[in-house]
Each structure stands twice: as C-alpha cells, then as structure tokens.
Amino acid sequence: MIEARQLTKRYGDKTAVDGVSFTVRPGAVTGFLGPNGAGKSTTMRMIIGLDAPTSGTVTVNGRPYARHAAPLHEVGALLEARSIHPGRSAFDHLMAVAHTHGIPRRRVSDVIEQTGLQSVARKRAGAFSLGMGQRLGIAAALLGDPQTVMLDEPVNGLDPEGVLWIRTLLTGLAAEGRTVFISSHLMSEMALVADHLIVVGRGRVLADTTVQELVLQAGGDTVVVASADPAELRRLLAGPGVEITGRPGSEQLSVTGLSAREIGLVAATHGVALFELTAKTVSLEEAFMELTRESVEYHSATVPGRAA
C-alpha cells in the first residue's frame, strides 16, 4: 500500500508535485498517468526516498520508505535512471544488489528465470538491448520479493512478446495480493492491464478512478440516435438515469444511460423510424486527452493545414 498525503515538491519556483493525495491499494494494478512533466517521476522518486518532499508525506506499508529495516522487501522499484555497471554481467549485477541487501543467492536465479534473462545472464549488461536492460531493471526490482512493485514506464523498449510478458507479470503480481504501481504513456496497454488509474497534470491529481469510469465520464456511454420524431423519442426514452440532449430542430439526440439496443427496441415498439443509431466509443487515450488537455505543458506545434 502506498499512501501520499498533500505531497508537494518544489524545485526553486517550479512546483513539480502540488499537494497530491492518493492511495495505491494491494491486489490491483494501479496505473499512473499524466502528460510529460506532470510530476510522475518526481512522485515516484519521493515514494522511495530518492527525493525529499518539500511538504506532505508519502508512506509505503505505513512507513516512509527509509524507515523500513529491509526496504527492498517492501518496495521493488524500476525508475528511469538505472545505475548498472556496463562491464558487469546481469548475473553479477543482481548478485551485487542481493549481497548488499542480505537477499539470498537463490533469488538471483529466480528473478533471472522470471524475467526470461537466462540466455544472456552472463553477458555484459552494457551490450544489452533496451528491452533486455528493461528486463534486468525489473529483475532487480523483484529481487527482494517485495510486497509493493513500482515501475516507471516498464513497457519502454519491449517488443510485442515483452509487452505481453510484462502484462502477465503485472497482473500475476497483483493477483498474489501485491501492490503494483506503474507509469506509462501507452494508453492501450494501460487499458488492458490497469484496474485503477491515478491521472496527474501539472503536479495535481486530475482523476483517481477506474478505466471504465474515466471512459464513461468522457462520454463513453453516449448513443447518438436520429429519428423522424425526436420529440416523441425523447419522451419515450426519458427515465431515471437517462440523459438526453439535442439541438432544437435537429433530428439527432445524444442519449446516455441507455444502450443502442435498448433505444432501438423502444423505437421499434412504438413505431418510431430511426435514421441513425450509433454507440459512441471513447478510448482511454481519448478520455485521457480530454482530461489532461488543460494540463499539457509541452504542446506540439500545430500540424500545417489542421485546425489547432
């Protein structure tokens, strides 16, 4: 369990993390999303004590990271800046980490197997591909058999087989009851793997919700329906939990709270002809863009010929 309370980090007059509060619970994969510069890495660094908060607190399993007697058993983390001696083999790197943290030698073989590094374990880490380096970072994070696993952009550099592997790994760790906290810019991947999402923008929490809720809030359950008699259809569809909007004089209505199937059946039962019946699907990517539009720090230049 990770608990942040009013967590704030300032660098000079730049507020990287601005009064953030959230709880990352065990037994689930929680995705940490936000545009570039939103404060994700800074938050993750504070979680494992690599940066000190300007104010506020963050605890792991009830205590600040540094106050744990064996922190690698509490949190296994992969952050962007890795410090692996390029001349050392993966095996030697993991042995060195295990040795300095009192972790038994057999864990090294366990994590090498778990991360699929067997065939390259004796090779120099400096010669590793991005994907292999990523696997080695994850192996080091898992070495202490931690209750909480925190990975910054774990999918970076992985090929499709690697992406599938990490998906299975993360959901497996959560199923074992561990706390899994991962940041990523790959929305399609997050939609597949995350049970819960924390979205930040300009150092603040914008959403703390499930993938489904976020998509729903972005209009993911809207059905567009056009008919010859929109006023009559509006009357027929009205009910608890149903919201209907439409421009005066337009044949088209936007309906939330009913499925396309339900609307089609009501219209057919009452002999109202429909010209259009479209369930509007919103991807997590679209929901994310909508939510963070105001918070994007680094906008791309407008593509010529396209509206901004």
Ligand X SMILES: Nc1ncnc2c1ncn2[C@@H]1O[C@H](COP(=O)(O)OP(=O)(O)OP(=O)(O)O)[C@@H](O)[C@H]1O
CB closer to ligand X out of 189 and 221: 189
The reply on whether position 201 binds ligand X by CB under 6 A is no
Q: Determine contact, residues 22/30, Cβ cutoff 8 Å.
A: no
Q: Please report how close the Cβ of residue 257 comes to ligand X at its closest, in angstroms.
A: 35
The reply on whether position 190 binds ligand X by CB under 6 A is no
CB closer to ligand X out of 156 and 212: 156
Q: Please report how close the Cβ of residue 47 comes to ligand X at its closest, in angstroms.
A: 12
Among 2, 4, 7, 16, binds ligand X (CB under 6 A): 16
CB closer to ligand X out of 144 and 201: 201
What secondary structure does DSSP assign to the chain, as a single string? -EEEEEEEEEETTEEEEEEEEEEE-TTEEEEEE-STTSSHHHHHHHHTTSS--SEEEEEETTB-GGG-SSHHHHEEEE-SS----TTSBHHHHHHHHHHHTT--THHHHHHHHHTT-GGGTTSBGGG--HHHHHHHHHHHHHTT--SEEEEESTTTT--HHHHHHHHHHHHHHHHTT-EEEEE-S-HHHHHHH-SEEEEEETTEEEEEE-HHHHHIIIIITEEEEEES-HHHHHHHH--TT-EEE--TT-SEEEEESS-HHHHHHHHHHTT--EEEEEE----HHHHHHHHHGGG-SSPPPPPTTS--
CB closer to ligand X out of 41 and 227: 41
Site for ligand X in 31-70 (CB under 6 A): 34, 36-42
CB closer to ligand X out of 74 and 153: 153
CB closer to ligand X out of 14 and 306: 14
Site string for ligand X, 101-140 (x = CB under 6 A): ----------------------------------------
Q: Please report how close the Cβ of residue 292 comes to ligand X at its closest, in angstroms.
A: 11
Name the one range near ligand X by CB under 6 A: 30-38, 111-119, 131-139, 299-307: 30-38
The reply on whether position 14 binds ligand X by CB under 6 A is yes
- Contact residues for ligand X, defined by CB under 6 A: 11, 14, 16, 34, 36-42
